[in-house]
Structure 1
């Protein structure tokens, strides 16, 4: 009953699990540094207008509001760190050329994203600003796959989609231009009957309904793209989207890749162009989400091409096999100089040494005591238990 006093969809993380999450955080941030990503740490709360600069998205609904006791203005507790990192790139760093930034911190959702979702996430991610080519997209995808691989995730599946394709098909119909969000929800759910009913009720063009229904069946491996060319309109926007997806798949041989052209209603809707998700057995939804979010910095005074990804370390860790206790050494408490020196030397070599306080009974979840430090023949020595 670790969460019996906590609000719904919030939970404590207990010792062994908390240690593993922290080890993952350190390992991944060190990995991102080897790629040249610089660490930034935006604040947990900001004025609401800054956090909600990307308006009309799920992000606004998930942002918790508080009143700043100093200024009286409304602040928000961040629900996603990507807009904050975009603000740092656009407004504070203001560099020319490519900037690679990474981050890690807690985010809070006013409501859980799904039935099995938590409201507090430990979000870690990496973003590349200032490059519009496929090369930066490939770098962040490779880094995302390496991230989950470092955690012990085997056989991840990369799922690609191109939301701008679906939005183009919707917005080219004058009747549906004001109902984009509604249509996106139906597409994301692959609600065929709902799309047909919307087509009849709205009076949209018959060909629009036909294209939207076709999107719901365009899911699978790379062969989906050839089917899409035959059933979708032959227009520049469609050719660009399908061509980008094909180039991306061809540049990642040896990976399990699927395409879902109807998946355009999820996420925070600030993405543009090609986006991706990483799935793996043992997790009920995507482990990693990322892709292009060009122009998000415009709200902060400087639009830049951008691509990146993020994941929740708590969710990643929760789907792994149970965290195993660490081996530790038991040692007596005392002021003997040789004992103090022996304990210090063991700790400096990386050993965990638990000194037994007077009257203490060991009751540990995270450590397995398999050795002890004992005085033998006038010297402090390790002995197996």
Structure 2
């Protein structure tokens, strides 16, 4: 019986062939070069860790999204990473605990989840980003928003827009200005996320209705949010949003959705989602958060960061990649000349047999009499 499925890949996983791999490398290099130029040092983390380590450094990490299995050596539960941010948090709290703050780190790598998000079946994605550890001040948040924009632009994204949010908005309001019974808080959050006015009223959150209209272009939405905040509970957050928006200063289109919480499971006072023209869905998210201490410290260490998931951008760039310029080298070619040509940027493909066909091998030129001749 013929084996017809030996080369199948699991749903949501796939290879990157040369064109897409080249686009991926371009995006990764461009973004990481931007981060390095701003003092963010690269760290690399293992793809597998103890489940407890991945789940304990940050509030809101969803272990159920991870592939988990027992380590045959330690007999402890292992997990395949679904988010590198938690690993960087571990590094900051352990190996770099004594390093000067604020600590600036960057990273890139593949992450895997048990299932895709919504209608997107993809289960393995490239994640790259930066974390600034030791503060969650407005100046730090503004730096990370600017860096996310600059990194995506360097990678080839255009028409970038950023949507601001306040992930702890309901917690802040219900603690004092607009009290809610403990059992109502989750339902009010859910209805705000769903932008369901009727459901919000039914959940007992009628006083929160104005938040559904403090949404849209930043300048208009921030004024509506300020008008809603008659008691001044959100004054510092509103001032912070204005300061961050001023720092961005026209490099991206800005919007505001203050009650949005989807994708902000562990962010604290500030969060943002970043988009680009011609790309479906978000390209990344970021914001402020806290790294929990090794002894279960509830306060933890303040931090701010962002994660980009540029696979959709890679798909677009791969379709736009210029045709490869490669120089075919016949048997017996001048090796010193070939070395010099590579040093100035030529890609060379050397013949291994007299019958090698330069066109079939993807070459655009052939080396003849010391010159590159177009095929």
| TM score, norm. by length of structure 2 | 0.88
- What are structure 1's unaligned runs of at least 5 residues? 200-207
Residues 262 and 51 of structure 1: is their aligned pair in 2 closer, same or farther, counting only changes over 3 Å? Answer: same
> Does 2:201 correspond to 1:193?
no
Further displaced range: 180-189 or 117-126: 180-189
Aligned to 2:223: 226
Deviation, 1:170, is 4.8
Deviations 1:187-223 (A, max 9, x none): 2221223323333xxxxxxxx3221x22222101222
2:364 aligned partner: 370
Structure-2 change in CA distance of 1:193 and 1:55 (3 Å): farther
RMSD: 2.5
What residue is the counterpart of 2:212 in the other structure? 216
Structural mapping, 1:1-385, within 5 Å: 5-53=8-56, 57=60, 59-94=62-97, 95-116=99-120, 118-170=122-174, 176-178=181-183, 180-199=185-204, 208-211=205-208, 213-221=209-217, 222-232=219-229, 234-236=231-233, 238-254=234-250, 255-264=252-261, 266-293=262-289, 295-299=290-294, 303-320=300-317, 321-332=319-330, 334=331, 336=332, 339-358=334-353, 359-361=355-357, 369-374=363-368, 376=369, 380-385=370-375
Contact 1:103-1:124 at 8 Å conserved across structures: yes
Report the 3-state secondary structure (helix = DSSP H, G, I; strand = E; otherwise coil) of the residue aligned with 2:74. coil
- Against the structure 1 CA distance between its residues 110 and 176, is the aligned structure 2 distance closer, same or farther, given a 3 Å change threshold? farther
Higher alpha-carbon deviation: 214-223 or 317-326: 317-326
- How many corresponding residue pairs? 362
Q: Which runs of 5+ in 2 are unaligned?
A: 1-5
Alpha-carbon displacement from aligned partner over 1:84-138 (angstroms, at most 9, x marks no partner): 1011111111123211000111100111123125211111101111133222111
SS in 2 for 1:267: coil
Partners of 1:130 and 1:271 in 2: how far apart?
Answer: 15
From the superposition, tell whether residues 56 and 154 of structure 1 become closer, same or farther in structure 2 (CA, over 3 Å).
closer
Q: Is the Cα contact below 8 Å between 1:51 and 1:84 reproduced in 2?
A: yes
1:37 Cα deviation from its structure 2 partner: 0.9
2:163 is paired with a residue whose SS is strand
Matched-pair contact (CA < 8 Å) for 1:90–1:300 = no
How far apart are residue 274 of structure 1 and its match?
Answer: 1.3
